[in-house]
Amino acid sequence: GAGVSQSPSNKVTEKGKDVELRCDPISGHTALYWYRQSLGQGLEFLIYFQGNSAPDKSGLPSDRFSAERTGGSVSTLTIQRTQQEDSAVYLCASTPPGELFFGEGSRLTVL
């Protein structure tokens, strides 16, 4: 596809379970970002990948959150032992210089 693709679109899980969210960036984009958007809030930066450089993990809220990017393309955000406060929309964006292209997000609901 032409845009950033995220899956699943919606995920409902039970407290304490692990979840994985996937992002397929636009082909050729070297940088990839994960943001979190809680209900009615702005976007909170989580993590950033740029080429082969070490990722900027400064926004990850706890060690339950991790992300990887394989082969410089697809990225997976993993949340272990989910808590109710993890409920949010998780947005992925990829970029050439100058503009972020966002996916439609993965809505996570932790019961």
Partner 1 sequence: AQTVTQSQPEMSVQEAETVTLSCTYDTSESNYYLFWYKQPPSRQMILVIRQEAYKQQNATENRFSVNFQKAAKSFSLKISDSQLGDTAMYFCAFGNRLSQGAQKLVFGQGTRLTINP
Find tokens 């992300």 and name the residue. Answer: 67
Q: Closer to partner 1 at the Cβ: 17 or 38? A: 38
Binding mask 46-85 for partner 1 (x = CB under 8 A): --x-xx-x--x-----------------------------
Q: Closer to partner 1 at the Cβ: 103 or 110? A: 103
Q: How far apart are alpha carbons 111 and 108 in whole angstroms? A: 10
Q: Name which of 28, 21, 27 is nearest 6 in CA terms.
A: 21
- For partner 1, the binding residues in 92-111 under the rule CB under 8 A are 93, 95, 97-100, 102-105, 107
Q: Closer to partner 1 at the Cβ: 41 or 83? A: 41
91 lies in the binding site for partner 1 (CB under 8 A): yes
DSSP string, 23-86: EEPPTT--EEEEEEE-TT--EEEEEEEETTSPPB-TT--STTEEEEEGGGS-EEEEE-S--GGG
Residues contributing to the site for partner 1 (CB under 8 A): 30-31, 33, 35, 40-45, 48, 50-51, 53, 56, 89, 91, 93, 95, 97-100, 102-105, 107
